[in-house]
Every structure is written in structure tokens, then in C-alpha cells.
Amino acid sequence: MQRINSLTRSISGILLVILLLSACSGKKQKQTGWSDTIPIGYVVVGNVGMSAERNYVGSIGSEREVSLSFPMGGVLTKIAARNGHRVTAGQVIAEIDATTARSLHDASLASLRQAEDAYRRLEAVHKEGGISDVRWIEMETDLEKARQAELSSRKHMEDCVIKAPFSGVVSCVDHHIGEEMKPGESFCHVLDMGQMRVNFSVPEQEIALISVGDKATAIVPALGDRQLSLRVADKGMTANPMGHTYRVHASVIGGDCKGLLPDMVTKVQTTLGESDGMAIPVDCIQTMPDGTIVWVVKNGRSEQRRIEVGDFYYNGVYVKSGLSAGDTVVAEGRQKLYTGAPVKTIR
């Protein structure tokens, strides 16, 4: 009996402690105002101007570039300008042995002078009827042949010298005196460094969005991320069969070409199209195995919404479907949410 009383007193003590703890907990909850409402940051979906940006890798080139060679070939006898040298229009760059060409020209020039002299002598006789018309036509034909032969030999002689067609910079591989140049073999290139362009490749899915006259921006890492303003000058009509890309050329506008060198790598940024659409910050989006979702607030409670996203927009992303203008999308605190959770919106 005494043991039962002792057990009863122990149970009563435990119940009393539990009651006291419950009372303290309830008092603390009442004092702190604790609740299960989840605070969240939010954004309201609205329409924005859509201007999708695309990035490409390009390289610097010259707007005017010409390849120079010796049409007839020959042995190099003079190199007046080498790789990297600046030249002016008409300046001699290189020469080959012109001995044979000069001899041929001298011979053709002598034949021309002889034909001209005979023409002058017979012209007066022909006017007086001293020679037949047939003989006179033969004389005119011989003179014309001599003139064309002299022009051809003079061109051959002039082709033994390479001159700069315009002012620019020479770009070539190393050559040496005495080297045999083959007919038509490129000796050097002359580039106009005052007019530069950027060449880059665009995937076939995006080439239709680029038009001649569109503006773009190029960043040159080699020059401390220097920015260049571009305007699309032309785009290729045939694709690279390996990469399925089209070549696009954009001119540097503004004349700021100082320091640019051919084949420098650039990062090209273009804006493709302008239209209205909806955009939300990237932080609002969750990528799930079965798609992309966001949390929205409706009637004070959270719910999942599956969406379809499009291009990036500055620090956000365009929404193709799943949201409407005016929807409240959770931007902060979504890690604690569940379907139907009561939320309290804060900025």
C-alpha cells in the first residue's frame, strides 16, 4: 500500500512539471508572436521589351586587303618592304629580274617606231592615190599589231615590280634575295589598318535574325577588354558544312582602330530582335528533373507553377508560358515553401 502511494505521488509530480512547462511555452509563444507564416521576398511579373543577346567569338580583319604576286614569276632581286612595314600608295615593295622582259619591250618598242614611221611615209602617198586601199589596210594592221605588242611587253616588264596599291601595312612570310618566285605565287598582302572589321560565325538557327545594318559590340581582351562599335556589313549565303554556321562581317564604326591587329580574338555581342514579353529574375527559377518551376503567391498561400523559359534578359530570363502579368513570384525564401504554405510578402 505504501508503494502504491509513493508511485501515485511520483506520477502526480511528473504531471505537475508537464503542466508548468506547457504554461511557460504558451506564455512564451504569446509573448514572441510566433506563427507558421513564412516570410518571402517577391517580384510582380510585368511586360518588358525583349531584346535577346547573343555572344559569338570573332577575329579582327581589314576591310581592304589585297594579295600581291608576280604574274610571270622570276628571281627576286630586291625587297624594299618586309613584314609589318608601312607603305604608301605606289611605293615599290619588291622586284624580280626584269632582264628578259626589258629586252622584249625594247624589241617591241623598236618595231612600233618602225611601223609608225612607215605609216607616216605612206599616209601622204595613199592620199595622192599612189598605193591601193588593200596595201593601206595592211599598213594600218601592221601598225596596230606593233602597238599591241609594245603594250604587252611593257605590261610584262611592269609586272616584274610589285607596288603598293594603297597606303597600308605589309604582311608576308620571309623571303630572300635570289629566291625563285613561281607565277601567281603570293608574295605579300597589303592591309588598310585604318578600316577594320570583325569576322564571326553564327549558327544556322540564328542567322535569319541577323540583318545587314544591325549594330553589335566587340570586346578585345588583348587590348584590356576594349569595346568596339560594329555594324553588320554582310553575311554569308553558304554554310560551313562541318559546323553548320554562316560567316558574318561587321565593320568597326567610329574610326577607332588604333592598336588593332589582324586575327586578334574578340567577343562579339549582338541583340537579336525587339518585342514585348515577360521576364523574371533568374533567382526565382528552380530547375527540376521534369522541367522548370517557380513559386507563386495566390490568396496568401504558395503554389508551384511550371513555366517555359526563353532567352536571357540582362540579369533575368524571359518567360514563354506559365505566368501572366501581375502574378506574384517568390524571389527569396522559396527553400522553406511547400504547396499551400501560408506566406507573408516582404520586399
My answer on whether 155 and 236 are in the same domain is no
Query: The whole model's pTM is what?
Result: 0.57
Q: What region, left, alpha or beta, does residue 139 occupy, with left being phi > 0 and alpha being psi -120 to 50 degrees? A: alpha
Helices (H) and strands (E) in the chain, counts: 3, 21
3-state SS, residue 257: coil
DSSP string, 137-187: HHHHHHHHHHHHHHHHHHHHHHTTEEE-SSSEEEE-----TT-EEPTT-EE
| Domain that includes residue 291, residue range | 38-52+276-346
**What is the mean pLDDT of the segment spanning 223-241?**
91
Q: List the grid coordinates of 158.
A: 611592269
**What is the mean pLDDT of the segment spanning 195-218?**
89
- Would the pLDDT of 6 be above 70? no
Domain boundary residue, one of 273, 294, 315: 273
Identify the CA nearest to 232 among candidates 263, 182, 198.
198
3-state SS, residue 322: coil
My answer on whether 59 and 200 are in the same domain is yes
| Count of structural domains, the chain | 4
Domain boundary residue, one of 244, 273, 302: 273
Is residue 245 situated within a structural domain? yes
Q: What confidence score (pLDDT) does residue 283 get?
A: 83
Higher pLDDT, 101 or 309: 101
Is residue 4 situated within a structural domain? no
- Would the pLDDT of 28 be above 50? no
Please tell me the least confidently modeled range out of 25-29, 128-132, 252-256. 25-29
Q: List the grid coordinates of 138.
A: 595592211
DSSP string, 205-222: TTGGG--TT-EEEEEEGG
Q: What confidence score (pLDDT) does residue 50 get?
A: 53
The predicted-structure confidence for 43-66, as pLDDT tens digits, reads as follows 888 765 555 678 899 999 999 999
**Domain CATH number, residue 170:** 2.40.50.100
CA–CA separation, 84 and 58 (whole Å): 22
Sorted by sequence, the CB contacts under 8 Å of residue 158 that are 6+ apart come out as none
| Phi and psi torsions of 228, nearest 5° | -120, 140
Q: What confidence score (pLDDT) does residue 111 get?
A: 94
Paired strand residues for 294:
305
Q: Where are the alpha helices (DSSP H) in 208-340?
A: none
My answer on whether 213 and 257 are in the same domain is yes
Q: What confidence score (pLDDT) does residue 347 get?
A: 63
Categorize the per-residue pLDDT at 308 as very low, low, confident or very high, splitting at 50, 70 and 90. confident
Paired strand residues for 303:
296
Q: What confidence score (pLDDT) does residue 121 get?
A: 87
My answer on whether 172 and 208 are in the same domain is no
**Domain CATH number, residue 102:** 1.10.287
My answer on whether 229 and 263 are in the same domain is yes
Categorize the per-residue pLDDT at 163 as very low, low, confident or very high, splitting at 50, 70 and 90. very high
My answer on whether 59 and 202 are in the same domain is yes
Is residue 306 situated within a structural domain? yes
In percent, the amount of the chain with pLDDT more than 90 equals 42
My answer on whether 197 and 268 are in the same domain is yes
